[in-house]
């Protein structure tokens, strides 16, 4: 890798976006049970990366304005995640707020979002994927980089 590019492979995803989709779905299933501070921080963290947000009619792109002249000519299979360095700093703060409170979501997750056989079957897999995103965000922030998520 060059000095301006790093690669991160999420454990257990096999390069697929499906675990990210199912983690976003799990968040949708459990978010009402989260306390307001955790909900706000995790909403911000996930909506910048993998979750379309609270509007079910929105097909959210996870791309900061101005990173590309236009999204129209960009061929892509699946969602595109492209966040600039300023967004990465904001996401780092959101994760700091989220990390300490996340374990309190385990019980509600088991009741509302656990789905054996799904890519993200339980709270442990959910937190593992989110922790992977946190690792990516921390490293990008340390290097003052942005993020680009590409399915392999």
Q: How confident is the model over 93-125, as pLDDT tens digits?
A: 999 999 999 999 999 999 999 998 888 899 999
Predicted confidence (pLDDT) per residue in 43-100, tens digit: 999 888 887 777 766 666 777 787 777 666 666 556 678 888 999 999 999 999 999 9
CA dist., res. 39 & res. 32, Å (int): 8
The residue count of the chain comes to 152
pTM, whole model, 2 decimals?
Answer: 0.85
For residue 74, the model assigns a pLDDT of 60
- 29: closest CA among 113, 98, 132? 113
pLDDT over 60 at 147, yes or no: yes
Contact 91, 137 (CB under 8 A): yes
Q: Determine the straight-line distance between the first and last CA of the chain, rounded to whole angstroms.
A: 16
């Amino acid at each position: 890798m060059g000095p301006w590019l790093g690669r991160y492979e999420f454990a257990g995803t096999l390069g697929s976006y499906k675990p990210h989709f199912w983690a976003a779905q799990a968040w949708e299933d459990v978010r009402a049970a989260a306390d307001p501070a955790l909900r706000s921080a995790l909403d911000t963290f996930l909506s910048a990366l993998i979750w379309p947000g609270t509007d079910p009619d929105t097909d959210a792109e996870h791309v900061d304005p101005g990173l590309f002249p236009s999204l129209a000519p960009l061929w892509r299979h699946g969602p595109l995640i492209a966040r600039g360095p300023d967004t990465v700093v904001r996401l780092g703060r959101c994760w700091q707020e989220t990390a300490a409170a996340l374990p309190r979501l385990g019980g509600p997750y088991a009741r509302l979002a656990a789905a054996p056989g799904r890519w993200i079957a339980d709270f442990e897999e959910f937190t593992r994927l989110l922790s992977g995103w946190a690792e990516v965000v921390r490293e990008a922030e340390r290097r003052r980089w942005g993020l680009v998520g590409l399915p392999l």
